[in-house]
Structure 1
Amino acid sequence: MTLEDFYSFIVLYQIRNISDAAVELNITQSALSKRLRNMQQELDTRLISTRNKRQLTITESGEVFFRYAQTITAQYDLMRAELRDYRALRRGTLHIGSVPIMAQYGLTQKMSGFMHDYPQINIRLEELQGADLLKALQNQAFDLGILRDVQSQQLNKSQFETRDLDTDELRVVLAADHPLAQRTSIAIADLQDQDVVTLNPGSGVYEKVGRLFQQAGVTPNIRFTTPHIETLLGMVAHT
């Protein structure tokens, strides 16, 4: 038995006339009659009494079959509608990979607004270091990634599109009572004997800091690394 059989019986049930039902279904009367006979043979029960050709009578078995036919076709239609939503990106789960910057750049608020505007789309967020995120994106493990430009520049432009979400500056952060804190400008050479805390290797920031020190001919005294900016700020405040 096929879905067309269920739909055909529903129309026949509602119209109660084979000729008119065939017109509604856009098939011949003989094709509809044959479909009905096959259904009754498969079920081994009579669904419709044809004693009155003008006004068909639905048997008790036909009433039961009609209820199930309605349920089956309704569920099928719901399934197709839901799958259409997935194809049209109106429903589903958006798998996002990000470096650990969501709170600092107000991105959690933007995601909350997105979820409000698109209530049928869920977000699954994974926070990774830049190098790991870059590898995952290249392996198509995420629908999209949020990462620093030092990583995004390594992506193949024929495979990925990039958009700038925000701009930032690389700055030296010092405790308020640090001797260098009162200066209006600081050179890399001024940090030669200072303990340095920075984001982890692979973050992009770590590598950029290393290049700046290298260009100045200075070896940085990196004492502590972490993936979280809040932890860095806490270390600076208590150093």
Structure 2
Amino acid sequence: MTFQQLAYFVAVADVRSFTRAAESCGVAQPTLSRQLMALERELGAALVDRGGRDGPVLTPAGAALLPLARRMLADADTARTAVAEIVGLRSGRVRVGATPSLCIGVLADALRVFHDQYPDIALELSESGSQPLVRSLVRGELDLALVIVPPGGIDPALHATPLLRERLSVASPTSERAPSRGSLNLHELGRRHLVMPRKGYDVRETTLRALTEAGVTPRFAVEGGEMDAVLRLVEAGTGLAVVPDLVFAGRPRLRRTVLTPPLYRTVALARRADLAPTHAMRAFTDTLLSFLGVLSAGDGFTGDVQVIRPTAG
């Protein structure tokens, strides 16, 4: 007995015509007839009465087999779907974007965990500011991206899942005296030379907006670099920088000083809202959420970072 034979039998039962059944199955009528007779020989009973005036009708044996055949074919289709999903995971691709600070603080380790679990999925990483990443998502150049939620909300073309709430703090070199005893306010920050990342970094826009609202004119030592360059310049004593708390991990040459009043940002995982996520994208999302949960339950993060638990749906 084969699934193909059962499919031919169900087709005959549905349309009550060997010719139309063969057409619906995409085979020649003699081929369908031979396979149906082979099935009857296998089961030891006639399944179809071919002498009916209105076309073939099911015998009692055929009527008993029909619901079982339908269920077997449905189960086979379910099995094919399940296997196809696994095959998709083995041969899929995920194009992930993230801001440099998130690549440093979270994504590098999460990508390692994902690669260990799904070694055959191709991973492509794009590192840029949050605003360029959003544009890349909208244009379909990325599948997923860790982006910063702006004050006005995320682009309506995107679906975003909030992941982290992170504080921004002042970075200074440990080789020099601390800029204050405990905290630094915006007016004190305005009297220091700053190292500022290039345009497109949300931390730049957030810092400049806070200084402007406080009536403070910033003084720049260097501006326009990428996050790695900003951190290295601070370590070298070039100036201070306002940076996300995640970047302090593993950098003993940087001192963290809290800023008052505090500045926070929300990190979200975003994708195109009009496209259903692929199996590989869902697997990456599940891996990332699981990784953040384990990290939060363990030693946690450096500085003031909280995991936002995604709500169902």
TM range (shorter): 0.5 to 0.7
Equivalent residue number for residue 108 of structure 1: 108
Instruction: Note the 1:90-109 alignment, pairs <5 A.
Output: 91-109=91-109
Equivalent residue number for residue 165 of structure 1: 163
TM-score between both structures, scaled by the size of structure 1: 0.59
Equivalent residue number for residue 267 of structure 2: none
Displacement of 1:146: 0.9
Displacement of 1:162: 2.0
Instruction: Note the 1:30-49 alignment, pairs <5 A.
Output: none
**Count of residue pairs brought into register by the alignment:** 179
Instruction: Note the 1:86-235 alignment, pairs <5 A.
Output: 91-150=91-150, 153-156=153-156, 159-176=157-174, 178=176, 181-222=179-220, 223-228=222-227, 230-235=228-233
Displacement of 1:180: 5.1
Q: Matched residue of 2:96: which SS?
A: strand
Equivalent position amino acid for 2:198 in 1: N
Task: Please say if residues 96 and 124 of structure 1, whose CA atoms lie closer than 8 Å, have aligned partners that are also in contact.
Answer: yes
Residues 114/151 of structure 1: CA separation in 2 closer, same or farther (3 Å cut): farther
Displacement of 1:211: 0.7
Equivalent position amino acid for 2:173 in 1: A
Question: Which has the higher relative contact order, 1 or 2, with Cα contacts under 8 A spaced 6 or more apart?
Answer: 2
Task: Structure 2: state its 5+ residue gaps.
Answer: 1-24, 42-46, 49-79, 239-313
Task: Structure 1: state its 5+ residue gaps.
Answer: 12-16, 28-79
Bigger-Rg structure (1/2): 1
Residues 213/107 of structure 1: CA separation in 2 closer, same or farther (3 Å cut): same
Displacement of 1:102: 4.5
Range 172-181 or range 187-196, more displaced: 172-181
Q: CA RMSD in A?
A: 4.0
Q: Distance in 2 between matches of 1:19 and 1:179?
A: 89
- 1:132-152 CA-partner distances (Å, limit 9, x unpaired): 111111223221111122389
Residues 134/19 of structure 1: CA separation in 2 closer, same or farther (3 Å cut): closer
Q: Matched residue of 1:171: which SS?
A: strand
Equivalent position amino acid for 1:110 in 2: A
> Whose strand fraction is larger, Structure 1's or Structure 2's?
2
Q: Matched residue of 2:168: which SS?
A: coil
Identity score, percent: 21
